[in-house]
Structure 1
Amino acid sequence: MFFVDTLETEGLGNRSYLAGGRTTAVVVDPPRDVDRVVAAAAARGVRIGYVVETHVHNDYVTGGPELARLTGAQYLVPAAARVSFARVPVADGDRIAVDTGLGLKALATPGHTPHHTSYVLVEDGREVAAFTGGSLLIGTVGRPDLVEPRLTEQLARAQHASAHRLAAELPDDVRVLPTHGFGSFCSSAQSEGDATTIGEERTGNDALTQDVDTFVARMLAGLEDVPAYYAHMAPLNAGGPPPVDLTPPRTADAEEIAQRLAAGEWVVDLRSRTAFAEGHVAGTFNFEGEGKLATYLAWLIPWGKPLTLLAASAEQLARAQRELVRVGIDRPAAAATGGPDSWLRAGDGLRSFPRTDFAALKRARERGEDVVVLDVRRDSERAGGYVRGSVHIPVHELHERSGEVPAGVVWVHCAGGMRAAIAASLLDAEGRRVVAVDDGFEAARRAALTVSEGDADDVPGTGTDGDGGADPGTDGGTGTTGTAGTGRGGSAA
């Protein structure tokens, strides 16, 4: 009897798979921190005989070469993929014997990339599961615009054809096991649900229910920005990533932290947004270690910029290192653990800023306070409703566009609080007075603060308003405390 174990990489919204029989297993689209995979195989008591890639990934660094080296497994990569390392090339129709009565069948499914390949798990001649990578996802497909702009429409049409090939060649009860689609920006739309089959996709996936022209037009119209670090992932993967080093970074004292800040390096505080707002070293940025750290830190930091991590504990630091190597940020320049008092140079004071909610924003406006409201959500979120009079700069653009934020106290919001905390820390590091609105966007609607795109009172695109919406799953929890007011010593609030 076969098994399939799922290895979640939640911060990136991806899945890898360990599948096999009684003695031997195959790993599909392995994460870079391969110790997790080795442990999963050991728990099953199986040998990893094969490591396979559905495609050269654009959103994370693969652990394929290292896993194959450690285990002696054969490393299978689509034959058409342009890579510079030794591998076993896989072509459409190839079959791989994994264990007694268990094998893989390769199906060319271009669309997410030109060389994308899915693998069908076959037990005793019966198809039981399909590892679809970035092809057929749950209710959607992988986006086609990550390779080359000139190929986007061609790849979108290929995605439609590949989805139809899978549906035509596989029985309804075959499990669909994609790599992307669980929060990954590689997905062309937000996936719904946690499991699916070919039969369910046949009736619920746009690629299988819409004609090709309608499908392509709608998908291309809905594509948004992708994290900037994606540009570096495919070249790293094509070159064969080196092993990771997860040993602790060198320890920085308060003086070194101050020097690194003065040199313009990035010093990132991994503590919760609540703790950061209460007190932090001036000039540091807040990316919560328990949030989507790898996605947002790798998206915003200039590639190759020296990075120092500040963590509440050694455990938090280790988790952050593990997340960051998955996107190619391999070795922090330095790190420190503890709290802001131990990271602060003698004579300096901590900065702080208030956290509040949308109800407090409404009261501030009713009192006639001159507040600047900054919306850092994505364009598609804002298109569904926005706070009247707000400035719109998505969080991933704020570091470069902070000069566009009007003078005054800046109340920063997103859909749930996490991105607002990042944005507030970026502005606070520039010496701006900020208030972090740590609240779900539905509370803004309940407070009657929002308008819809195109309302006569606001003209979208002017910088004082725009087009809004909420994606509660994009940020961390709410849990607001306090109202706008004065923080601890050194606060800009």
Structure 2
Amino acid sequence: MFFVDTIEVAGLGNRSYLAGGALTAVAVDPPRDIDRVIAAAARRGVRISQVAETHVHNDYVTGGLELARVTGADYLVPAGARVSFARVPVRDGDRTEIDAAGGLALRALATPGHTPHHTSYVLEEDGAAVAVFTGGALLIGTVGRPDLVEPRLTAHLARAQHASAHRLAAELPDETAVLPTHGFGSFCSSSRVAAGDGGDTTIGKEKANNEALTRDVDTFVADLLAGLDDVPAYYAHMGPANSAGPEPLDLTPPTVADADEIAARLAAGEWVVDLRNRVAFAEGHVAGSFNFEAEGQLATYLAWLIPWGRPLTLLAESAGQLFTAQRELARVGIDRPAAAATGDPSSWVRAGEAPVSFPRATFADLADRRRDGQVVVLDVRRDSERAGGFVEGSLHIPVHALHRRLAEVPGGQVWVHCAGGMRAAIAASLLDAAGRDVVAVDDAFDAAEKAGLTVRTVSAVGGGGPCR
């Protein structure tokens, strides 16, 4: 009998896997915090004999090299990947024994598209396919995006992605479990809606539902390219880090910062990030600090916005919250916070100073305020979300671009919203730190029209102008 354990990396919208038999196992696309994979192997009582990468990842720092070093496992990496470390180069059709007693083996299938060298791995039991680790080749209902390697290759890779999906569907039985790495909220997915569904799937289900398998190649490529959204800025640093070979993870506690040091770091232009929930932050925080909730997509949005390499100080309500955030940030290469503090704002401000605050509101409050007079309404959602509907008269600057475009926000009180409140809180903290009068709309966008606000779509006004 074989097993497959899923290791969720929810903050990044990814999954890693541990698969094996009675004695040995393979780890597929492991996260940087390899202790989770080692713990999973210990619970199963197996030795990790192989570590396999489907591709050189562009959205997180892999733990594969370090896991192979620590466990003594063979490190399987697609032969076409350009890397600077010793590994076992894997080519199409290569078969690797995982558990001899259980008849388990991995068979490599070249599935280019997400990257030129992308490789899927078929898990076989006594020669029969039982599962396939598809990385970014075949996701739930969609595929991985083809635009993360080189812009000039995007259209070519989109066609390769269609061909790879069809190869998997043609060569594997319908009951084969499909186990993707991306596609559970990851920006590596080409479709944020379809990819966020989660759950389990098979080759047969994907034949019926996957956009790559239900559309002809020209329609698929046209729709895929038209639907691509912005790429998180930190992705530019992930591929090079993984190609060079990441350093071992260091999760020792950062230096403790007192109120004077926090003030000094702010004065020096460093980033001070408050990890508490957005309600607590709005009620009181250190002036100049930014709010990225530890419970939200911390790594994605903080890594996307922060100037790469800028010193970072973390403020957390507890040591546990700080440690969890440090672990999550390390997955995307933000390794060592310059300093940190725990507690609450009363201990983070200097003697004689007080925390600052800003109000939170709903779309109903915004509708009432608009009836009283003009205010600036700032929409910080992505272009694709904006296209589905926006508050008439609102300004659109996606949250990941706001820190570079603050000067574009007109004077006056700014009411900032997103789809649910988390990104609005980030944006409100950026505006507040810049000295603006801001109100954070902490509400679901579905409530906007119900509150009496006029909601229009891009198609209704033509040309896509409001999305810019």
User: Which TM-score applies when normalising by structure 2?
Assistant: 0.97
Q: Secondary structure at the match of 1:411?
A: strand
Q: How does 1:152-191 map to 2 (within 5 A)?
A: 152-190=154-192, 191=195
Deviation at 1:401, TM superposition (A): 0.3
Q: How far apart, in 1, do the equivalents of 2:71 and 2:442 lie?
A: 46
Deviation string, structure 1 residues 104-131 (Cα, Å, up to 9, x no partner): 0000000000000000000011100000
Deviation at 1:453, TM superposition (A): 2.8
Q: State yes or no: 1:13 paired with 2:13.
A: yes
2:420–2:444 Cα contact (<8 Å) kept: yes
Which AA in structure 2 matches 1:364? Answer: R
- In structure 2, the CA distance between the partners of 1:458 and 1:134, relative to structure 1 (3 Å rule), is closer
Q: How far apart, in 2, do the equivalents of 1:390 and 1:362 lie?
A: 13
Q: How far apart, in 2, do the equivalents of 1:457 and 1:355 lie?
A: 30
Q: How far apart, in 2, do the equivalents of 1:113 and 1:351 lie?
A: 47
Q: How far apart, in 2, do the equivalents of 1:267 and 1:382 lie?
A: 30
1:386–1:467 Cα contact (<8 Å) kept: no
Q: State yes or no: 1:324 paired with 2:329.
A: yes
Deviation at 1:267, TM superposition (A): 0.3
Q: How far apart, in 2, do the equivalents of 1:174 and 1:107 lie?
A: 14
Deviation string, structure 1 residues 133-166 (Cα, Å, up to 9, x no partner): 0001100000000000000000000000000000
Q: State yes or no: 1:227 paired with 2:232.
A: yes
Which AA in structure 1 matches 2:25? Answer: A
- In structure 2, the CA distance between the partners of 1:110 and 1:452, relative to structure 1 (3 Å rule), is same
- The runs of 5 or more residues in structure 1 that have no matched partner are 469-493
Q: How far apart, in 1, do the equivalents of 2:200 and 2:454 lie?
A: 35
Provide the alpha-carbon RMSD of the alignment.
1.3
2:388–2:458 Cα contact (<8 Å) kept: no
Q: How far apart, in 2, do the equivalents of 1:159 and 1:151 lie?
A: 12
Residue among 260, 263, 266 paired with 2:268: 263
Aligned to 1:38: 38
Deviation at 1:348, TM superposition (A): 1.8
Aligned to 1:139: 141
Q: How does 1:54-453 map to 2 (within 5 A)?
A: 54-99=54-99, 100=101, 101-190=103-192, 191=195, 192-366=197-371, 368-453=372-457
Deviation at 1:193, TM superposition (A): 3.7
Q: How far apart, in 2, do the equivalents of 1:286 and 1:197 lie?
A: 40
Deviation string, structure 1 residues 297-341 (Cα, Å, up to 9, x no partner): 000000000000000000000000000000000000000000001
1:76–1:90 Cα contact (<8 Å) kept: yes
Q: Secondary structure at the match of 1:400?
A: coil
- Percent of matched pairs sharing the same residue: 76
Q: How far apart, in 2, do the equivalents of 1:405 and 1:52 lie?
A: 47
Deviation string, structure 1 residues 12-31 (Cα, Å, up to 9, x no partner): 00000000000000000000
Deviation string, structure 1 residues 75-117 (Cα, Å, up to 9, x no partner): 0000010000000000000000000200000000000000000
Which AA in structure 2 matches 1:50? Answer: Q
Q: How far apart, in 1, do the equivalents of 2:236 and 2:30 lie?
A: 20
- In structure 2, the CA distance between the partners of 1:163 and 1:457, relative to structure 1 (3 Å rule), is closer
Deviation at 1:369, TM superposition (A): 2.6
Aligned to 1:25: 25
Q: Secondary structure at the match of 1:428?
A: helix
Deviation string, structure 1 residues 346-391 (Cα, Å, up to 9, x no partner): 122211000110001111112x232111000001111111111111
Which AA in structure 2 matches 1:350? Answer: P
Aligned to 1:484: none
